[in-house]
Chains A and B, each alone.
Chain A
Amino acid sequence: MRRLINTVRQSFRISVQNIITNKMRSFLTMLGIIIGVAAVIGLITLVQNATSSILGQFSELGAGTLSVSAPGTAMKSGLTDADLQTIMEVPGVRGVSPQVSGATAAVYDARVYENVSVTGRNELYFAYNDVIESGRGLNASEMNGSINVCIIDQDFLKNIFKGGEALGKRVRLNGAEYLVVGVQKKDNSIFAAYSDRSSLDGSVIIPYKNALTMSWSKNVTSLDIYVEDGVSNAEVEERLRETLDKIYNHTENAFQVMNMDSLMDTMNSVSSMLSTMLGGIAGIALVVGGIGIMNMMLVSVSERTKEIGLRKALGAEPSRIQTQFLLEAVILSVFGGMIGVGLGCLIAFVGARLMDTSFAISPSAIALGLGFSAAVGIIFGWAPARRASRLNPIDALRAE
């Protein structure tokens, strides 16, 4: 044990000396490992961070949510109130929130704003989503289609109310007066970030019945369904499909059900596949780096033949020489690995900033990078170390 510690300590000192004396060569040798490890860490961290950001927003939006799109058939378009009631009674369904989308013009303060997006919702949307910044959401009593209240978004507040007080004010939407009862939070989701809303003056949410009237349609074609806690989405999705099949009399393509959970599963598997693939590509860089280490160690062994001969004459056993050269290779590659980890984290950090996703260093990626570089050192240092240990002391001492 003491012998091993001695050998390790001495080899460490010799390796550091060699790295310092041959600065340029050591750096170029390590560069392969540095690039390999930096690529592994950088890419894996980047993919993981991007995925967790996206998944986080997905789950904010849709954990325990099913989305139904039901254009219906020629005989029966969309879903009636009675259908909604039927869906509400499906076991495991906690709530149903219709979504009616359209656009109209708004009039406020004697000015006309042509591009206002209107979305019809019910009270449950506000119960299950945390979207209100000030004021309130919609009430159940406002769902009969005759009460004109609206919730505006931040764009509406900025462009139409010019940032002033909006609550309690009235705007004219599609010819009818609406009372502003609430203001939405800024929408930070990636869907908002990637959809172009610059041409819009603003968005409002009104009771869905009002929105149906506004868009000249009778029935709802899009719904969010909230699943009860402790019930699996897939189970509810199954029952929901049966119910909708009955509603549409088993006509094909009358509806679509989107399960956010299965979407997240898909995302997860795509991201892990991406990690593996990118990691594999980066791994090739590591192997190339390893070959660089092997080359340098072979050069080092032949340069230091005389030194090896002397060490043997002074009583170093072959195993000790082998340990020394193996450790030198490992120290060289782990040192490169550590620089690579730092560089990889930097790449991931800059990448996260540029892509506007969250940044977290994963300890497993660091362990992976260091472990890989140590393994590369052992694998590619083995042959040169073996060669050194087998040198004949007489020939080695005589070498120039």
Chain B
Amino acid sequence: MRRFGSKRQSAGASVSEPYQPGEDEILHMAHIVKDYRLGEENFRALDDVTLTVKKGEFLAVLGPSGSGKTTLMNIIGCLDVPTSGDYYLSGKPVKDQKEARLAQIRNKEIGFIFQSFYLLQKQTAYENVELPLIYANMPEKQRRERVEEMLEKVGLGDKMKNYPNQLSGGQQQRVAIARAIATNPTILLADEPTGALDQKTGAQVMELFHELNNEGRTIIMITHDSKIASHANRIVRILDGKLSEGRLEDA
């Protein structure tokens, strides 16, 4: 069983000098390697990935399925830890942390947006958005204001009491976005955010992404769809666990 926060010493690939975060650099990955054991064999999902993201960037990670983009997302999102390499988030190293601490980092730094929304079906839109704020121990009054503000921002001020099954797919994804931005995280991390939506609602969601980006929020979007990736202002490609800087024109 894989455990979080178990001690994993970086094997040879450590940086020689301590990392000094550059100005505006909120994410820095150096020589990240992630290995999975598949039975007897070792499978290298990420191979020497180095990536730096600046504040306010809208970055797309473009790659086909099996390229390692989900693994990359898990590591960026602190859901998983690398086998070796260094990862700094907001200038602080994310390494050898206990799972409780990783949960707090996720709560504060990362806003997840998933392909299939992942809303709690038995809770209202309001309660879904409230969830990360509860985990952030925000007092109730402040929480209420924040939830209402977020839902109004995504255009669902009138649907607070609705349950997910009373909302369209586009509306559900907007609830999920409201939930992701509620704690005002450093990075919005979106995994195929339009994958479960039709073109029109997908375009509306991308519109919302642009708005959020214009407000200065940093967005990392993982996708296999170059059309969707073209919404970003920077694209990196991932293939067989290797990352390469792409050009916007490629998309």
The interface residues of chain B lying within 8 Å CB-to-CB of A320 are 135
Nearest Cβ on chain A to B4's Cβ, whole angstroms: 7
C-alpha gap A312/B102 in the complex (Å): 9
Beta-carbon nearest neighbor of B103 in chain A: A317
Instruction: Identify which of B104-112, B153-161, B226-234 touches chain A.
Output: B104-112
C-alpha gap A6/B138 in the complex (Å): 10
Determine whether the beta carbon of A314 is less than 8 Å from that of B100: no
Contact with B along A374-400 (1 / 0, CB 8 A): 000000000000000000111001000
The interface residues of chain A lying within 8 Å CB-to-CB of B120 are 307, 310
Near B by CB (< 8 A), chain A positions 17-64 give 17-18, 21
**B: number of interface residues (CB 8 Å):** 30
C-alpha gap A10/B132 in the complex (Å): 12
Beta-carbon nearest neighbor of B121 in chain A: A307
Contact with A along B8-43 (1 / 0, CB 8 A): 000000000000000000000000000000000000
Nearest Cβ on chain A to B3's Cβ, whole angstroms: 8
Determine whether the beta carbon of B100 is less than 8 Å from that of A317: yes
C-alpha gap A312/B79 in the complex (Å): 9
Nearest Cβ on chain B to A395's Cβ, whole angstroms: 8
Given contacts A307-B120, A318-B100, A397-B118, contact A313 B137 (CB under 8 A): no
The interface residues of chain A lying within 8 Å CB-to-CB of B114 are 397
Q: Tell me, yes or no, whether B167 is within 8 Å of chain A by CB.
A: no
Nearest Cβ on chain B to A392's Cβ, whole angstroms: 6
Beta-carbon nearest neighbor of B3 in chain A: A392
Q: Tell me, yes or no, whether A2 is within 8 Å of chain B by CB.
A: yes
Nearest Cβ on chain A to B117's Cβ, whole angstroms: 10
Determine whether the beta carbon of B106 is less than 8 Å from that of A314: yes
Nearest Cβ on chain B to A310's Cβ, whole angstroms: 5
Given contacts A6-B134, A315-B135, contact A21 B122 (CB under 8 A): yes
C-alpha gap A14/B123 in the complex (Å): 9
Beta-carbon nearest neighbor of A312 in chain B: B103
Determine whether the beta carbon of B118 is less than 8 Å from that of A306: yes
Determine whether the beta carbon of A394 is less than 8 Å from that of B74: yes
Q: Tell me, yes or no, whether A362 is within 8 Å of chain B by CB.
A: no
Near A by CB (< 8 A), chain B positions 90-132 give 99-100, 103-104, 106-108, 112, 114, 118, 120, 122-123, 131-132
Q: Tell me, yes or no, whether A284 is within 8 Å of chain B by CB.
A: no
**A: number of interface residues (CB 8 Å):** 25
Contact with A along B198-217 (1 / 0, CB 8 A): 00000000000000000000
The interface residues of chain A lying within 8 Å CB-to-CB of B122 are 14, 17-18, 21
Determine whether the beta carbon of A315 is less than 8 Å from that of B99: no
The interface residues of chain B lying within 8 Å CB-to-CB of A6 are 134, 137
Nearest Cβ on chain B to A315's Cβ, whole angstroms: 2
Nearest Cβ on chain A to B157's Cβ, whole angstroms: 22
Q: Tell me, yes or no, whether A174 is within 8 Å of chain B by CB.
A: no
Determine whether the beta carbon of A315 is less than 8 Å from that of B107: yes
Determine whether the beta carbon of B1 is less than 8 Å from that of A392: yes
Nearest Cβ on chain B to A306's Cβ, whole angstroms: 7
Q: Tell me, yes or no, whether B179 is within 8 Å of chain A by CB.
A: yes
Given contacts A10-B134, A21-B122, A394-B74, contact A315 B104 (CB under 8 A): yes
Nearest Cβ on chain B to A47's Cβ, whole angstroms: 44
Determine whether the beta carbon of B108 is less than 8 Å from that of A315: yes
C-alpha gap A383/B81 in the complex (Å): 27
Checking B77, B80, B99, B131 against A317 with a beta-carbon cut-off of 8 angstroms, the contacting residue is B99
The interface residues of chain A lying within 8 Å CB-to-CB of B135 are 311, 314-317, 320
The interface residues of chain B lying within 8 Å CB-to-CB of A10 are 134
Checking B103, B123, B139 against A315 with a beta-carbon cut-off of 8 angstroms, the contacting residue is B103
C-alpha gap A319/B136 in the complex (Å): 14
Beta-carbon nearest neighbor of A6 in chain B: B134
The interface residues of chain A lying within 8 Å CB-to-CB of B100 are 317-319
Beta-carbon nearest neighbor of B183 in chain A: A315
The interface residues of chain B lying within 8 Å CB-to-CB of A111 are none
Could you write out 23 A-B pairs with CB less than 8 Å apart?
A6-B134, A10-B134, A17-B122, A18-B122, A307-B120, A311-B131, A312-B106, A313-B79, A314-B107, A314-B132, A314-B179, A315-B106, A315-B136, A316-B135, A317-B100, A317-B103, A318-B100, A319-B100, A320-B135, A392-B2, A392-B3, A393-B79, A397-B114
Residues on A close to B: CB < 8 A? Answer: 2-3, 6, 10, 14, 17-18, 21, 306-307, 310-320, 392-394, 397
Residues on B close to A: CB < 8 A? Answer: 1-4, 74, 77, 79-80, 99-100, 103-104, 106-108, 112, 114, 118, 120, 122-123, 131-132, 134-137, 139, 179, 183
Q: Which 10 A-B pairs have the closest CB atoms?
A: A315-B107, A315-B135, A317-B100, A314-B132, A317-B103, A310-B118, A393-B79, A315-B106, A316-B135, A3-B137
Q: A307-B120, A318-B103 are in contact. List 5 more A-B contacts (CB 8 A).
A: A316-B135, A319-B100, A392-B1, A394-B74, A394-B80
